[in-house]
Amino acid sequence: MNVVSLFNGMNTGRQALENVGIKVDKYYSSEIKPCAIELTQYHFPDTIQVGDVTKWREWDIDWSKIDLILSGSPCQDLSSIGKGAGLNGNKSSLFFVFIEILNHIKKLNPNVIFLQENVASARKEDIGIMSQELGLYPCRINSCLVTAQLRDRYYWSNVRTKESMFDIVTDIPQPRDRKINFNDVITDGKSPREKSKCLIERRSFCYTDEFSENAQRFLRTREKFGVIVIHLENGLMRTVNKVEMCRLQGFPDDYCDILNEDKAQSLLGDGWTLPIIEHIFEFIKKA
């Protein structure tokens, strides 16, 4: 397959294709974050970096040969923790650039497969607009089925899992519940939670003494932004470390070893859950 991945992030799409056994001939990555490009090229040095998505008309790509286009368009203006600008926001409005590119490819290859992902906390009107632009409604999958993380997302795709006369709904079934508990993935300590809250891009890793006067403020501020606190035997509390963040997104422990804690947090918190994308791509393979 020849693939274009917009807002490529940490290259989850390429890793998922590799893991399910789909051969990639050319993989074009549109990404501007330096640490994301660094991680992508470390794992897949043959990735072709094309840069800023808004300059797509300048890219040297034979669009007629593109088989798959991936898009995890920015969710910052759509998310419940954002400022509520929706698809009119500076970042989330980049969804419409994806639509421009998808429509351009469709004129040359009507059989192109697409996958678009975004947050389930987006407003109904924004979900409706995206569905109208894509010509079908999304399916909704929570990463808690395949990891120890609560991560509720919408996925739009024209991948078909069965013959049907109704093509207006994304035809991806729910993955099997692997029943992974948060305490199953932490490296030390324990948590009262069965599942981690959703990883976010915001920096979160630190330690604190649970008996200090700042401890309760630490708990309140961290929990407000979805950061899970782990209690250690020595009376300290900490947030998730790099290995745990990789596990919460379904990646191997060492996947982000070349990055420091901050950069890993940024990419993993803003990325896709690997086993979910593998689940979706399995139906491409079957088709």
190-232 pLDDT, tens digit per residue, is 888 899 888 876 555 556 665 566 666 666 666 555 566 777 7
* CATH code of 135's domain: 3.40.50.150
Confidence class for position 86, pLDDT limits 50, 70, 90: confident
Place of tokens 């678009």: 116
Same domain? For 164 and 186 the reply is no
Range of the domain at 219: 182-265
Identify whether residues 186 and 49 lie together within a single domain.
Answer: no
Q: Are 191 and 224 part of one and the same domain?
A: yes
Please tell me whether residues 133 and 155 are part of one structural domain.
yes
Q: Is the predicted pLDDT of residue 164 greater than 70, yes or no? A: no
Closest CA relative to residue 67, chosen from 131, 130, 5 = 5
Same structural domain, 218 and 277: no
Whether residue 225 sits in one domain with residue 132: no
Q: Are residues 47 and 127 in the same domain?
A: yes
Cα distances (angstroms) measured from residue 234 to each of 20, 206, 212, 223: 42, 15, 13, 21
Q: At what angle do helices 95-108 and 124-134 cross, to 10 degrees?
A: 20
Q: How many domains does the chain have?
A: 2
Cα 59-64-65 angle, rounded to 5 deg:
90
Q: What is the per-residue pLDDT for 93?
A: 85
Q: Average pLDDT, whole number, for the chain? A: 88
Q: What is the pLDDT of residue 192?
A: 84
In a shared domain, residues 141 and 213: no
Residues 129 and 250 in one domain: no
Answer yes or no: do 95 and 162 share one domain: yes
Q: What is the pLDDT of residue 219?
A: 61
pLDDT of residue 222: 60
- CA–CA distance, 188 with 25 (Å, rounded to integer): 41
User: Is 125 in the same domain as 201?
Assistant: no
92 within 8 A of 85, measured Cβ to Cβ: yes
249 lies in the same domain as 170: no
**What is the tens place of the pLDDT at every residue in 239-272?**
889 999 999 999 999 999 999 988 999 999 999 9
Provide the pLDDT for residue 185: 95
Nearest to 117 by CA among 125, 132, 127: 127
pTM of the model: 0.91
> For residue 182, what are its two tokens?
């948060």
